Amino acid sequence: MKKVTLTIASILLTGILFAQDYIPPTTATSAFKTKYPSAVVQEWYDNDNEIVCYFENGDNYGSAHFTAKGAWVRSEFTLTEEEMPSAISMIMKDKYPDSEIIEVMKMETPKGTQFKVIVYNPIEESDYAVTLDDTGKIIKEEDLNAED
pLDDT value at position 68? Answer: 87
CATH of domain 2-73: 3.10.450.360
Q: Which pTM does this prediction carry? A: 0.76
The CA R_g of the chain, rounded to the nearest whole Å, is: 17
Domain locations in the chain? Answer: 2-73, 80-143
Any bridge partners for residue 76, and if so which?
63, 107
CB contact at 8 A, 53 and 66: yes
| Closest of 77, 81, 69 to residue 119, by C-alpha | 81
Stretch (H or E) spanning 131: strand 126-133
pLDDT value at position 148? Answer: 58
Any bridge partners for residue 127, and if so which?
120
Q: Is the pLDDT of residue 28 over 80?
A: yes
Under CATH, what is the fold of the domain 80-143? Nuclear Transport Factor 2; Chain: A, (3.10.450)
Q: Which of 18-27, 37-46, 65-74 has the lowest mean pLDDT?
A: 18-27
Reported confidence tier of residue 21, pLDDT bands at 50, 70, 90: confident
Query: Pick the residue with more confidence: 99 or 146?
Result: 99
